[in-house]
Structure 1
Amino acid sequence: MAITTLSSREFNQDASGAKKAARRGPVFITDRGRPAHVLLTIEDYEVLAGRTLSLAEALAQTTDFDFDAPRVSDLGLRPADLD
């Protein structure tokens, strides 16, 4: 994990570079030479915050998901006789 430190001026001039650096690790942003802010990816933030994903959120993040539902006949079930 790489830690990057940028002044507020550097951050303002190259926000895109700061976001790229945040993918490698936290980016400390200083004001007058003192750490004032930290830029993190949302994934790193959620780990720090202890946030757990709902099932829907976890499935939404999955890009390749195969699911073959079994046929009712394969489960040994038969349709209800309503007559």
Structure 2
Amino acid sequence: MSFAYMTSADFNQNPSKAKKAANERPLVITEHGEASYVLVRYSDFKDHWRKSKSLYDALNHSNSRFDDDFLADRTDFKRRHVQF
């Protein structure tokens, strides 16, 4: 995900420009060159940041790029010395 950046001084002078930028992608507001705040649309916030997911839900997502492409190598124990 890419971010847009704006200084806090620019944000204070032109908040409507900040809202327009946040419509496209999250807007990082910086103070003294360091990220301080992030402005996002409420719908994006609600859809992505407020939902808590279990690991199972995250990995079982229908659009996951990790669906059926993982094939583990078979393990061979013939050369291993096991002590009990």
Instruction: State the TM bucket, normalised to the shorter chain.
Output: 0.5 to 0.7
Higher helix share: 1
- Partner residue, 2:32: 32
Amino acid in the other structure paired with 2:40: L
Corresponding pairs, count: 51
AA of the residue aligned to 2:33: G
| Cα distance, 1:5 vs structure 2 | 0.3
Partner of 2:16: 16
Q: For the residues of structure 1 that align with 2:23 and 2:39, how far apart are their CA atoms?
A: 10
Q: Which runs of 5+ in 2 are unaligned?
A: 53-84
Note the aligned Cα RMSD (angstroms). Answer: 1.6
Cα shift at 1:2 = 5.2
Q: Specify the SS of the correspondent of 1:50.
A: coil
Note the residue ranges of structure 1 that are not aligned, 5 or more in a row: 52-83
Provide the identity percentage.
35
The two structures have a TM-score, normalised by structure 2, of: 0.56
- TM-score norm. by structure 1 comes to 0.57
Runs of 4+ in 1 over 6 A off after TM superposition: none
For the 8 Å contact 1:2–1:24, the answer to whether it is kept is no
